[in-house]
A and B are shown apart, each in its own frame.
Chain A
Amino acid sequence: MAFFEGLKMTGGYGTGPDIINSCSVDVNRGEIVSILGPNGAGKSTAMKALLGLINLKSGAVVIDGKDITKLSPQDRVRQGISFVPQTKNVFAGMTVEENLEMGAYLRDDNYQDVIEEIYELFPILREKRNQLVGELSGGQRQQVALGRALMIKPSVLMLDEPTAGVSPIVMDELFDHIIKVKRTNVAILMVEQNAKQALNISDRGYVLVTGENKYAGTGKELLNDPRVRSSFLGG
């Protein structure tokens, strides 16, 4: 049994139609798993379901053997599940250090050493610690967003299109950072548009189509699967 699992999740927004149908994903600590698929396949929705932002009609979410299907998003944060949204993922009007402090809001202990660890991981943030995040570049902001999410020392980190809207160079840099995070024994689950690059750094991947699992396998397998290649990776 995997560390963090979504089992046969079915649900949608409000009383609308189901966006995901019996969709299952799982991820272990120290592993990067990507969720891929065409537009409207329900990738982000699957992630929101794991986070508790939408209510499931059926299925379950389990972390470390514990059923958390009924927990609110805030309570899931307490269970060590951290999330970086695609947009608006920083507090733009606050300094880098304040962003990190807010990430540690649920921690009552002294989190100064965690901030130090984040600065080790993202040295540029130490340099800019007293600057407003709204004044940083796109790549630096994403680092702040990652840093904020890492402040609770999560066991699961979920990323919604971390490289959306950044330049190719910054994208490579970000993927390097994500690999660094993975080495700290965090389970990473991400939704990505840049399928090729994402699969390159992923241990495993899922391809969703119309809210259902279509293909699954290791990064390499998916990259080499002709059906996946022709439909999502552009040949």
Chain B
Amino acid sequence: MDFLNAIILLLNYIFVPALTYGSQLALGAIFVTLIYGILRFANFATGDMMAFGTMVTILITWYFQSIGISLGVLPTALLAIPFAIIFMIGYMLFIDKFVFRYYRVNKSPPVQLAMVSIGVMFVTQAVVRIIIGPADQRFFDGERFIIKAREFKEMTGLNEGLAIKSSQVLTIFITLILVSILFWFLNKTKTGKSMRAYSDNEDLALLSGIDPKRVVMITWIIAGILATIGGALYGLDKSFKPFTYFNNMLPIFAAAIVGGIGNPFGAFLGGYVIAFSEIFITYAYKKFFMYILPESMEPETLVQLLSTDYKFAVSFSILVIVLLYRPNGIFKGKVL
């Protein structure tokens, strides 16, 4: 029984949250990796573009709520996301046309494009703060839990409860669907293959007649979809605060680099690697050991390797270690 309790404890506090957080990071990391692979620069505006997409989702959600539209048990935001995606795609194409295109046509070095993306980051950040403000926004409505801890305890008779939030299930479910569609698109369709070809060898892609403008446009469209959904899922699960999104850029970049930058599948798995490492290292295992060890050996401290305040240190360390020892990532991306 104690053993079961220990397992449930880990499921509840590590496995389910890490899977959710990992999915959210994975979407951001695929965004980073696609931009890096195809447009060839590190997009520092990633976090704030995700915040922008989330903000639009929130505004549309509020509008729907004000006119009385809801999805019942599901969050209204799900209904708002498609509209937000359309808006976000417009925003991405607008930024590309008026900012990035100029540097691409002039064949600027990647560092210059990265600096430009920092400019885009500041502007996007400012726009988000002007429109919705820097404060915390919660926009989750509908049924919060699928399984409540108390109900689980009553059902199983265990001491430990397993709580599963609907936002967690939605996040994992939507991520898997989205990522499956994306991989199907990249690996099986002609357009998707042409994007991979362009990322692999730009000159040869041009010689094969692949239209670079089309590839760039589709990349931004996918980026808009990923930014909105990734951001909105994070906001639904936790809360929306522009600064958190900016902060999340570190684990997102770490995930993309761990997976091998330019490699979407690597970025997807990298998201989970980072999420699980962060949560494994910052979780306090005291209760877990109380269950599995005899009473005499019970730990007196929290058995926490690192305080949760330092969770970014984990991504940062992974980033440094990967760059030092395996610069092309676990799944063979480009060498940075």
- List residues of A whose CB falls within 8 A of some B CB: 73-74, 77-78, 83, 85, 88-94, 98, 101-103, 105-106, 148, 152
Contact = CB atoms under 8 A, between A and B. Distances in A.
Interface in B183-204: 190, 193-194, 196-197, 200-201, 203-204
Contacts of B196: 91, 93-94, 98
A74 B204 CA distance: 11
Contacts, number: 56
24 contacts: A73-B206, A73-B207, A74-B209, A77-B208, A78-B209, A88-B201, A90-B201, A90-B204, A91-B200, A91-B201, A91-B204, A92-B200, A92-B201, A94-B193, A94-B196, A98-B193, A98-B197, A101-B190, A101-B193, A105-B190, A105-B194, A105-B210, A106-B209, A152-B209
Interface string B294-317: 000000000000000000000000
Contact of B197 (A77, A85, A91): A91
Nearest to B211: A74
Contacts of A105: 190, 194, 197, 208-210
Judged by DSSP, the binding face of B is: helix
A103 B207 CA distance: 9
A152 B209 CA distance: 10
A77 B203 contact: no
Interface of B: 190, 193-194, 196-197, 200-201, 203-211
A92 B206 CA distance: 15
A94 B206 CA distance: 16
A128 to B, nearest CB: 17
Given A77-B207, A88-B204, 8 more contacts: A83-B207, A89-B204, A90-B204, A92-B200, A98-B193, A101-B193, A105-B197, A105-B209
A85 B190 contact: no
Given A92-B200, A94-B200, A102 B193 contact: yes
Contacts of A148: 204, 208
A85 B207 contact: yes
B154 to A, nearest CB: 53
**Which 3 residue pairs across A and B have the least CB separation, nearest first?**
A106-B209, A91-B200, A77-B209
B40 to A, nearest CB: 15
Contacts of A103: 208
A184 B146 CA distance: 66
Among B194, B196, B197, B210, residue most surrounded by chain A Cβ atoms (within 10 Å): B197
A227 B33 CA distance: 56
A91 B200 CA distance: 6
A42 B130 CA distance: 58
A31 to B, nearest CB: 22
Contact of A88 (B193, B194, B203, B208): B203
Nearest to A145: B204
Contacts of A93: 196, 200
A77 B211 CA distance: 12
A75 B225 CA distance: 32
Among B197, B201, B203, B208, residue most surrounded by chain A Cβ atoms (within 10 Å): B208
Contacts of A94: 193, 196-197, 200
A102 B208 contact: yes
A74 B211 CA distance: 8
Given A90-B201, A91-B201, A94-B200, A74 B206 contact: yes
Nearest to B209: A106
Contacts of A90: 201, 204
A38 B209 CA distance: 32
B216 to A, nearest CB: 15
B210 A102 contact: yes
